[in-house]
Amino acid sequence: MTDRDLLFERQQRTAIALVAVFGLFDICSRLPSLQAFAQGIPSPASEVNWQQLAAPLIAGIQSVSEPKLAASLTGSASAKPAAVAPAPIFSAPQRFQGQIVDRAQLSGDEKVIALTFDDGPWEQTPEILGILKEMDVKATFFWVGKNVQTYPEIAKQVVAAGHAIGNHTWDHPTNSMDRETAAKQIDSTNDYIFETTGVRTALFRPPGGALLNGLADYARNRQDAVVLWSVDTRDWQASTSVQMLVSTVLNEAKPGGIVLMHDGGGNRWRTVEALPAIIAGLRELGYRFVTVPELLEMQEKEIIAAEAKAAQAAAAESQPALPPQ
Ligand code: NI
């Protein structure tokens, strides 16, 4: 596990402990006998209840690595600390962290595909959201930080609708840059996404798919998954008609694929018009829609299953042959 995984796990444990504490305080305020205990009035019934309820909880809190927080929680029942909800994080399984992916390598027959939308949030994002909702599809949006700043309410709508979020820099540079500039582009966007929507992301898509201008290197160093695509709709080009857009996706779709489209950066009316036909056409071909993190999670499961199978086979081979009878 990376340090980040450990930290995230700790944050989750802290949040679970906090939720449990608040639940307990709530019970205390409702049950007179427990309330009596909380106020320091001993009562046999309340003591039993309190100890029974609190023992596993306090053990849980003590296992949390932030000693100050644990002490403040166990020290006084009357001080209510501020609630700390864990931020949902959109990330790839560990083996893809710091790696570049353009599709999931799936061996099975399951036809899954991930639709992705770049350069938003934008005026037309709500139209895209409406179609995705209507057709029951979850997608992945790679955001430009300054557009999140311009359309914070639309950004919140995307998150509320349950789509996955990735980072697409602050203002979409494609030129070469030093590490400090790359850090600013990526970190400020991550921070702004978190401040605006409460989610974190460890998925990064470099503008233009450029891998050599410093951005992808910085993202890989911070263990982001660098997410490219396997189907490029070129929906941003005026020469791409709605029909071309639809047929590109349907012709080039493969299980585990990642489809690049745009909800932002310009008038995306072609994308809006093509989307229902793209979704319906892919469904007709047998596809199911997943987000990029879900897609990589599927590959992870396959790899783990294959490794277990290989280990089993190796173990069977190393067994000494039975002597002839
Ligand atoms: Ni872009």
Is 65 or 280 the better-scoring residue by pLDDT? 280
Q: What percent of the chain stands above pLDDT 70? A: 72
Catalytic residue among 26, 118, 168, 171: 118
> Where does the pLDDT of residue 107 fall: very low under 50, low under 70, confident under 90, or very high at 90 and above?
confident
> What is the mean predicted confidence (pLDDT) over 77-92?
70
Ligand 1 center from residue 263 Cα (angstroms): 10
CA distance 232 to 98: 23
> Where does the pLDDT of residue 310 fall: very low under 50, low under 70, confident under 90, or very high at 90 and above?
very high
Ligand 1 center from residue 173 Cα (angstroms): 9
Ligand 1 center from residue 97 Cα (angstroms): 21
Tokens representing residue 30 in the block: 């409702």
109 counts as catalytic: no
CA distance 277 to 58: 55
| Straight-line distance from the first to the last Cα atom of the chain, in angstroms, rounded to the nearest whole number | 49
**pLDDT value at position 88?**
81
**pLDDT value at position 70?**
36
What pLDDT digit, counting tens, does each position of 274-296 carry? 999 999 999 999 999 999 999 99
The number of C-alpha atoms within 13 Å of 19 and in the hemisphere containing its C-beta is: 8
- 310-to-180, 267, 307, 315 alpha-carbon distances in Å: 44, 51, 5, 9
Ligand 1 center from residue 32 Cα (angstroms): 59
**pLDDT value at position 108?**
74
What pLDDT digit, counting tens, does each position of 200-242 carry? 999 999 999 999 999 999 999 999 999 999 999 999 999 999 9
Query: Burial letters for 9-46: b for 16+ Cβ neighbours within 10 Å, e otherwise?
Result: eebebbbebbebbeebeeebeebebbebbbeeeeeeeb
φ/ψ of 232, rounded to 5, equals: -105, 110
**pLDDT value at position 81?**
58
**pLDDT value at position 319?**
75
Q: Is the pLDDT of residue 32 over 50?
A: no
Provide the mean pLDDT of the chain.
82
Ligand 1 center from residue 11 Cα (angstroms): 32
> What is the mean predicted confidence (pLDDT) over 167-185?
98
Ligand 1 center from residue 208 Cα (angstroms): 6
Note the Cα 162 to chain centre separation in Å. 10
Top-confidence range, 39-43, 47-51, 269-273: 269-273
> What is the mean predicted confidence (pLDDT) over 40-44?
36
Please write down the HEC assignment for all residues of 242-274: HHHHHHHHHHHCCCCEEEEEECCCCCCHHHHHH
Which residue in 170, 169, 174 sits closest to 209, CA to CA?
Answer: 174
Whether the model pTM is above 0.75: no
Ligand 1 center from residue 127 Cα (angstroms): 19
Q: Is the pLDDT of residue 308 over 70?
A: yes
Ligand 1 center from residue 145 Cα (angstroms): 11
Q: Is the pLDDT of residue 65 over 70?
A: no
Catalytic residue among 163, 168, 172, 262: 262
**pLDDT value at position 109?**
76
**pLDDT value at position 259?**
98
> What is the mean predicted confidence (pLDDT) over 252-270?
97
Question: What is the crossing angle of helices 67-75 and 3-30, to 10°?
Answer: 10
In one letter, which amino acid is 309? K
> What is the mean predicted confidence (pLDDT) over 300-314?
94
What pLDDT digit, counting tens, does each position of 2-15 carry? 555 555 566 666 55
CA distance 5 to 62: 20
Which residue in 297, 263, 275 sits closest to 96, CA to CA?
Answer: 297
163 counts as catalytic: no
Which residue in 15, 181, 154 sits closest to 89, CA to CA?
Answer: 15
Is 301 or 324 the better-scoring residue by pLDDT? 301
Ligand 1 center from residue 239 Cα (angstroms): 18
Could you give the 3-state DSSP secondary structure of residue 80?
Answer: coil
In one letter, which amino acid is 127? E
Ligand 1 center from residue 302 Cα (angstroms): 31
> What is the mean predicted confidence (pLDDT) over 24-28?
43
**pLDDT value at position 13?**
66
CA distance 58 to 71: 10
> What is the mean predicted confidence (pLDDT) over 50-68?
37
Ligand 1 center from residue 133 Cα (angstroms): 23
